[in-house]
């Protein structure tokens, strides 16, 4: 059954997510233009219905019982550019595939996004998560986020300061979740700029390939190759493909907690990265493995990726409840072994 707006009932959500689990949306609509998006928000408000926004589905776990809400699948497309003397502003609609945009900027020689190659999902999710990898975060380049304010019904343009960016976080995600629906994002890039080479893995891959003066394209090639070895690139042939990528964020803890982790580890090899505010970032993957789990370890139909300890994989027959139970087991083991809490990276829809 559908309405003139195109709202359908009982639409299965598992096919729209990379994890491939979970039940249906009570109501569902495809929004391929801003008018439809505005109408969908108004439709939900008029009926007192909860609203959920779905992009590429690479960072969400849908509960087995489904979602009692209107799920709006974002299909807004389009990319425009504005060139200035020393920069270029690239504005992409929320439904643009992220890696296609990165490939486009690299091909034009615009630096700033090259280390974010190979990440699945849509443009609209990048400011929510403050997506980052291999020494870059989108907050390094975002200059404006155009969004629909679901409270007022107005379309607004938010500055980076208003976005409240933090490590894998933003105001969209934690301060006012659900208030804004991202419509488009503007990134300020550097024409002819040098690539970012802050990560040892990238530098090693470039050296192994004999690349001494890497271009943006060289760095993109290395990043995708590294991600592929970790099953962090969507590939229908990959047995680890049904995942959300990193299921946990790397915990940022006080220096005292980090020192306690070192004491508990006993071997002195704890990877740790001091932060500007005196806190310390730890490796979630390292904590999981040292808590007694190994890559490829399975608990029935759910397990860790064979390529990376941060990825939880749903195998044939898995349900959302299985995925979340396994994740809780990982969290409990790390907390018991090291006294550190692991936070989920994907959103859980129930």
pLDDT band at residue 249 using 50, 70 and 90 as cut-offs: very high
- For 60-119, how does the pLDDT look when each residue is reduced to its tens digit (9 = 90+)? 999 999 999 999 999 999 999 999 999 999 999 999 999 999 999 999 999 999 999 999
Is 247 inside any structural domain?
no
- For 125-140, how does the pLDDT look when each residue is reduced to its tens digit (9 = 90+)? 999 999 999 999 999 9
Residue 192: C-alpha distances to residues 12, 106, 139, 155, 226 (Å)? 45, 10, 20, 33, 24
The DSSP result for 203-242, as a single string, is HHHHHHTT-SS--HHHHHHHHHHHHHHTT-S--TT-TT-S
Percent of the chain with pLDDT over 70: 99
Q: Which residues are 191's β-sheet partners?
A: 110
Q: Are residues 121 and 134 in the same domain?
A: yes
For residue 335, give the CATH number of its domain. 3.90.78.10
> Any catalytic annotation for residue 345?
yes
Is 166 inside any structural domain?
yes
Range of the domain at 266: 252-349
Task: Look at residue 1 and tell me whether its pLDDT is greater than 80.
Answer: no
Q: Are residues 186 and 117 in the same domain?
A: yes
Averaged confidence pLDDT in the chain:
95
What is the number of domains present in the chain?
A: 3
Of 30, 34, 289, 345, catalytic: 345
Of 170, 231, 246, 305, catalytic: 246
Is 167 inside any structural domain?
yes
Q: Are residues 21 and 89 in the same domain?
A: no
Q: Are residues 48 and 142 in the same domain?
A: no
Q: Which of 163, 196, 229 is the last residue of a domain?
A: 229
Q: Are residues 109 and 164 in the same domain?
A: yes
- For 25-47, how does the pLDDT look when each residue is reduced to its tens digit (9 = 90+)? 999 999 999 999 999 999 999 99
Is 239 inside any structural domain?
no
**In this structure, is the dihedral angle defined by the CA atoms of residues 273, 277, 250 and 135, taken in order, positive or negative?**
negative
Q: Are residues 65 and 83 in the same domain?
A: no
> Any catalytic annotation for residue 217?
no
Half-sphere exposure of 30 (CA within 13 A, CB side): 6
Is 3 inside any structural domain?
no
The whole-angstrom distance between residue 344's C-alpha and the CA centroid of its chain comes to 11
Q: Which of 40, 74, 108 is the last residue of a domain?
A: 74
Q: Are residues 206 and 257 in the same domain?
A: no
For 197, list phi and psi in degrees, rounded to 5: -130, 45
Mean pLDDT of 301-329: 97
Of 52, 168, 220, 290, catalytic: 168
The DSSP result for 280-305, as a single string, is EEE-HHHHHHHTT--TT-EETTEEE-
pLDDT band at residue 4 using 50, 70 and 90 as cut-offs: low
- For 195-247, how does the pLDDT look when each residue is reduced to its tens digit (9 = 90+)? 999 889 999 999 999 999 999 999 999 999 999 999 988 888 899 999 999 99
pLDDT band at residue 20 using 50, 70 and 90 as cut-offs: very high
> Any catalytic annotation for residue 161?
no
Q: According to the per-residue pLDDT averaged within each range, which of 169-178, 266-275, 320-329 is highest?
A: 320-329
- For 137-155, how does the pLDDT look when each residue is reduced to its tens digit (9 = 90+)? 999 999 999 999 999 999 9
Task: Look at residue 2 and tell me whether its pLDDT is greater than 80.
Answer: no
Q: Are residues 55 and 84 in the same domain?
A: no
Q: Which of 46, 74, 102 is the last residue of a domain?
A: 74
């Amino acid at each position: 059954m559908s309405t003139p707006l195109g709202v359908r009932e009982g639409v299965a959500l598992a096919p729209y997510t990379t994890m491939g689990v979970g039940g249906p949306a009570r109501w569902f609509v495809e929004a391929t233009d801003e008018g439809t998006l505005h109408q969908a928000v108004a439709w939900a408000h008029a009926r007192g219905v909860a609203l959920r926004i779905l992009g590429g589905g690479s960072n969400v776990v849908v509960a087995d019982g489904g979602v009692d809400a209107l799920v709006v699948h974002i299909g807004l497309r389009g990319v425009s550019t504005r060139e200035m003397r020393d920069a270029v502003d690239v504005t992409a609609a929320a439904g643009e595939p992220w890696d296609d945009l990165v490939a486009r900027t690299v091909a034009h020689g615009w630096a700033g996004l090259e280390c974010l190659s190979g990440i699945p999902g849509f443009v609209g999710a990048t400011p929510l998560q403050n997506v980052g990898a291999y020494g870059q975060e989108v907050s390094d380049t975002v200059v404006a986020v155009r969004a629909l304010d679901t409270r007022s019904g107005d379309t607004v343009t938010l500055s980076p300061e208003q976005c409240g960016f933090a490590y894998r976080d933003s105001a969209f995600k934690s301060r006012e979740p659900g208030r804004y629906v991202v419509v488009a994002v503007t990134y300020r890039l550097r024409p002819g700029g040098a690539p970012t080479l802050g990560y040892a893995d990238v530098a090693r891959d470039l050296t192994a390939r004999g690349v001494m003066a890497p271009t943006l394209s060289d760095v993109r090639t290395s990043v995708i190759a590294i991600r592929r070895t970790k099953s962090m690139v969507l590939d229908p042939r990959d047995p680890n493909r049904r995942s959300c990528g990193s299921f946990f964020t790397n915990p940022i803890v006080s220096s005292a907690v980090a020192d306690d982790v070192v004491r508990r580890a006993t071997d002195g090899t704890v990877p740790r990265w001091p932060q500007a505010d005196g806190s310390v970032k730890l490796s979630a993957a390292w904590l999981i493995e040292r808590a007694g789990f190994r890559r490829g370890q399975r608990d029935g139909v759910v397990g860790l990726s064979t390529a990376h300890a941060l990825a939880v994989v749903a195998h044939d027959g898995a349900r959302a409840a299985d995925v979340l139970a396994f994740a809780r087991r990982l969290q409990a083991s790390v907390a018991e072994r090291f006294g550190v809490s692991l936070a989920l990276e994907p959103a859980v829809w129930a």
